[in-house]
Structure 1
């Protein structure tokens, strides 16, 4: 009954998106108002990220049952968004995404689409790994349509879309799919993999690919750092993003972060907090020419702030990893 009532409230109160080019001198201001639900902030940030918009500032407020967010954005050239068709498209995308947040959280299975088969990989990073994976796929008569690979802290993760080389369609033969899975798993294990290599076949289109990469690396515990000594250890510590946590009485945990600014930084942080089952109630993002300063008031989905030192350390490690994973792209 509660579920049906919540759906009714969402239908009656559809998301409202206002895009204004007059409110700020050097950025387009996008304001989003909607009924609040877990994951809505990520959905909105994901739309802006997919549109290759740079978020210069953001203000987040979602106490109670209502969500309100304001973003100051520019295009790749640092200019306001002037094209009316693009503005209308952004508005429609946000309204659609904010109105229908997917509840699916990364379940996988052998379910290829009609267009291609999605292969997810996780294992130890090493020189030549990508070449070996591509060689195996070529030997198995698989054509790579597209692929995205991340490496961090000695771990590697990839989402690869392939088709049958002869038909150009998805691979549907179960025996062949299992052979692909087993052979790729052998490649990922290498000679001295201390962690379990993983190969999964999943349905594409049901989850954002970069969010899935975050989930794969998180599940592979890439946030657990390999301890180093000497000069390299000092250099690594000094280059890490600054992440601090502080509890305010019993209400919120406040996260403050400072890192080198780059595209998709906010998406990576909100993605990680959402998938770790934390809710952002208030937040502020402010970027300078080089750095990004962010502050978030969070609770776990059970309504409680961070309650132990072990949880605090884990959240810091996971946020550092989320910021660092994409560093090689910049």
Structure 2
């Protein structure tokens, strides 16, 4: 009954997206109003990220049953969005996602999911790891369609899309997949026995590849800073993100982040907060020439703010990792780009 009531509310209050080029001198302003639901902020930010838009400022408000966000965005060249077709497409995508319809798979890969097998990998980072993984797959008569690998804090995670090299179709044979798993895990294990190497198949659904990489590395606990035996870490602490977590009054936890600005920074942070099951009720984002500042008022989905020092430390570590992962090293492989 609750689901039917929620559907009725959404039909009576359809999402409203306004795109304005006159409100700001140096950016296009996008305002999204919709019925509130956990995860909607991530859906909206992911649409803007998939469109390769740069978010220079944002104001977030989702207290109660209504969601309102205002984003100042520019294109990759730092200019306003002027193309009418592009603006109409952004509006359709945002209204579709604000209605909680299945999102498009634009950021997942160059092929529909049913035409390839999506393999997820985690293991110990080392030079040449992607080359070794691709070599194993080639020996097993798998064609690597595309792959993306992230490395952070001595750990590596990858999402690899493969097909059978003779048929060009997805690989579904359980015995063959088990052989692939065993050999890839041997490659990924390295010399570090403290954490296991894994290979799994991507779960069904429409989760973007970049969000899956965040989820994989989060599950692998890459946010825990450990020293590898015989390995000395030289780190410029001044370049690391600065994250603070403070409780105010009794209703909210305020998370403040100051870091070097870069593309997709807001997506990475919102993705991590969502997967940690925190809800952003209010927030603001401001970027300068070199630095980004973000502040969010959050509560856990159970309605409680951060309640212990251990939880506070975990939030800090996870957000630092979310900021650093993409900046550590990202390798993208696409077979159609290889001569």
What is the TM-score when the length of structure 2 is the normalising length?
Answer: 0.90
Q: Using the TM superposition, give the Cα deviation of residue 235 of structure 1 relative to its aligned residue in structure 2, in angstroms.
A: 3.6
Partner of 1:158: 158
* Aligned partner of residue 169 in structure 2, secondary structure: coil
Partner of 2:46: 46
Contact 2:152/2:328, CA 8 A, preserved across alignment: no
Return the alpha-carbon distance in structure 2 between the equivalents of residues 328 and 272 of structure 1: 17
* Aligned partner of residue 325 in structure 1, secondary structure: helix
Deviation track 1:279-319 (CA, whole Å, cap 9, x = no partner) reads 00000000000000111000000001000000000000000
Partner of 2:186: 186
Partner of 1:108: none
Matches for 1:1-330 after TM superposition, within 5 Å: 1-100=1-100, 113-203=113-203, 206-227=206-227, 235-328=235-328
Deviation track 1:172-198 (CA, whole Å, cap 9, x = no partner) reads 222111211121112111233310111
RMSD: 1.8
* Aligned partner of residue 323 in structure 1, secondary structure: helix
Return the alpha-carbon distance in structure 2 between the equivalents of residues 8 and 299 of structure 1: 27
Return the alpha-carbon distance in structure 1 between the equivalents of residues 101 and 174 of structure 2: 32
Return closer, same or farther for 1:128/1:193 CA change in 2, 3 Å cut-off: farther
Which residues of structure 1 form unaligned runs of 5+? 104-111
* Aligned partner of residue 167 in structure 2, secondary structure: coil
Contact 2:211/2:271, CA 8 A, preserved across alignment: yes
Contact 2:117/2:163, CA 8 A, preserved across alignment: yes
Deviation track 1:29-69 (CA, whole Å, cap 9, x = no partner) reads 00000000000000000000010000000000000000000
Runs of 4+ with deviation above 4 angstroms: none
Deviation track 1:207-249 (CA, whole Å, cap 9, x = no partner) reads 1110000000000000001259xxx767442221010011011
Return the alpha-carbon distance in structure 2 between the equivalents of residues 280 and 248 of structure 1: 15
Partner of 2:336: none
* Aligned partner of residue 157 in structure 2, secondary structure: strand
Q: Using the TM superposition, give the Cα deviation of residue 206 of structure 1 relative to its aligned residue in structure 2, in angstroms.
A: 2.2
Return the alpha-carbon distance in structure 2 between the equivalents of residues 299 and 15 of structure 1: 24
Contact 1:159/1:213, CA 8 A, preserved across alignment: yes
Q: Using the TM superposition, give the Cα deviation of residue 102 of structure 1 relative to its aligned residue in structure 2, in angstroms.
A: 6.1
Deviation track 1:95-154 (CA, whole Å, cap 9, x = no partner) reads 111111669xxxxxxxx9431000000011012211111111000100011111000000
Q: Using the TM superposition, give the Cα deviation of residue 203 of structure 1 relative to its aligned residue in structure 2, in angstroms.
A: 4.5
Which residues of structure 2 form unaligned runs of 5+? 104-111, 331-339
How many residues were matched structurally? 319
Return the alpha-carbon distance in structure 2 between the equivalents of residues 6 and 307 of structure 1: 30
Q: Using the TM superposition, give the Cα deviation of residue 202 of structure 1 relative to its aligned residue in structure 2, in angstroms.
A: 2.2
Return the alpha-carbon distance in structure 2 between the equivalents of residues 177 and 11 of structure 1: 44
